[in-house]
Amino acid sequence: MSVARHPRPPELADASLEDLMARYVAKFETRTPDWNAFSDASIEGYRRAQHRFIGAGASGKHDDAGVIPATGFTLSIMLVPPGQGNAPHTHEVEEVFFILQGRCVVFIEDEDGRRLSQELGPWEMISCPPGVIHGYVNETEEDCYLQVMLGRGRPETAGFADESLFERRDAHLGGG
């Protein structure tokens, strides 16, 4: 007989194994790429698709249909076409970019505009601390897939460093 050494959370105390498998398994083939997940994603140079797996993500969209619930982190797979990336931004928690396929240039920068960049390939990653301006861009001729993790199950919406992008994020979320 097996013994669970840690208790389940109250909402899962009576869940069957079938219920747990149905709710906590997600396959890539069932993820729908969201090309409008972020307020900057409609701008040339920042086009990318989010495949949400765990948690609400930093898009600010908190539609949880088909997404595995999380309390401590989020996990998405981003499809980044050639010449695209994301706008420089910060979060209140750490964010990890882990390259799965292709190559991508990751960067960090300070508020004076000084930027350090590094190209990463499969099985390489960067962990961006809270409050550090960061992002990525695909400078190759092939799609790049990267795993994105944020250190909270429902993080705040990304804080774009560019004022005009920061201002349009509320309108993107339906707030303005």
Q: Give, for all 176 residues of the chain, the pLDDT tens digit.
A: 888 889 999 999 999 999 999 999 999 999 999 999 998 998 999 999 999 999 875 555 545 568 999 889 999 999 999 999 999 999 999 999 999 999 999 999 999 989 999 999 999 999 999 999 999 999 999 999 999 999 998 888 888 888 888 877 666 555 54
Nearby residues of 3 by Cβ (< 8 Å), 6 or more positions away? none
Q: Domains of the chain by range and CATH?
A: 27-170 (2.60.120.10)
d(CA 125, CA 26): 23
d(CA 66, CA 47): 23
Tell me the whole-structure pTM to 2 decimals: 0.87
